[in-house]
Amino acid sequence: MAHIAFIGLGIMGGPIAGHLAKAGHRLTVYNRSIGKAKSWAEAYGGEVAISPAKAAEEADIVISCVGTDDDLSQITLGRDGVFRAMKTGSLFIDHTTVSARIARQLYVEGQNLGLYCVDAPLTGGQIGAENGTLSIMCGGAKPAVAAARIVMQAYAARIVHVGGAGAGQTTKMVNQICLAGTLQGVAEALRFAQAANLDVDKIYDAISGGAAQSWVMDNQWKSMAQDSFDFGLSVDWMRKDLGLALEEARANGATLPVTALVDQFYADVQAMGGHRQDISALVRRITRA
């Protein structure tokens, strides 16, 4: 059992930290909103820190799950960042979806301080975080990923070491590219079924066991049909993720026409007031017949 500092208790981080606590690890948590950290501690036990650095002072492992490159930079390299307090030889695992550039930067900064760093973005959504069935794509050195795997098994069904520093983040971009196209396809199929006056529940039963099956269909077809979007990864965060993929594509020469189009479709959903709605709200911009 390890002493773990966990930074960021949002819709993904909160449940993940909960699985670690249930597994018997000792946790010290920090969240920008102190009230959320206190609520988590009341539910799971553990200690609440007043800063990332304070959380990391005695920790063997620091795990972060924040929002953006700037957020990650602040909680690691900032005045009260964890890199100022972590012990030599300790492990840093980042579950935030960010640029490959900052992942590589943190690897170098950590190496200079004697820290082991793993960029480990997640897929599986809020449902996967709550059920402990996430898939994790890891970038970093083999010994660091091997050490990270031991604790990540508490909340992951699949852990894959995909390459060196930053490779986890570029793999997450691949995931989001696939997800964007699949969401648009499922949204169009649902609206087509509704326009044809078909029973959408029977349609799901008929096609979800064949070639059209996908995680999106299994987890979001019914909620999309009910216009229910008050859960999961928000449209704002998805646009952030797609922006990272499009930026990386400009650097490596890849062409992403469908991804760019779906990104603009999400801009339409934002204009409709769907900023904080689940990414399946993409269906809202397709008018019902």
What is the band of 96 on the pLDDT scale with cuts at 50, 70, 90? very high
Per-residue model confidence (pLDDT) at position 97: 97
Confidence check: pLDDT of 261 > 80: yes
Read off the pLDDT of each residue in 7-27 and give the average, rounded to a whole number. Answer: 97
CB-CB neighbours of 61 under 10 Å: 22
Per-residue model confidence (pLDDT) at position 46: 94
Buried b / exposed e over 76-114, threshold 16 CB at 10 Å, is bebebbbbbbbeeebbbbbbbbbbbebbbbbbebbeeee
**What percentage of the chain's residues is helix, strand, coil (to nearest 5)?**
55, 15, 30
User: Which structural domains are found in the chain, ordered by start?
Assistant: 3-164 (3.40.50.720), 170-285 (1.10.1040.10)
Which of 123-127, 140-144, 184-188, 219-223 bottoms out in mean pLDDT, i.e. has the lowest? 123-127
Read off the pLDDT of each residue in 248-272 and give the average, rounded to a whole number. Answer: 97
Confidence check: pLDDT of 289 > 90: no
What is the band of 268 on the pLDDT scale with cuts at 50, 70, 90? very high
Per-residue model confidence (pLDDT) at position 180: 97
Per-residue model confidence (pLDDT) at position 1: 86
What is the reported pTM?
0.93
Among 22, 54, 142, 172, the one annotated catalytic: 172
Per-residue model confidence (pLDDT) at position 113: 97
Per-residue model confidence (pLDDT) at position 78: 97
Confidence check: pLDDT of 288 > 90: no
pLDDT tens by residue, 100-151: 999 999 999 999 999 999 999 999 988 999 999 999 999 999 999 999 999 9
Distance (Å, whole) CA 137 – CA 282: 26
Read off the pLDDT of each residue in 190-219 and give the average, rounded to a whole number. Answer: 96
Whether 172 is catalytic:
yes
Read off the pLDDT of each residue in 191-198 and give the average, rounded to a whole number. Answer: 97
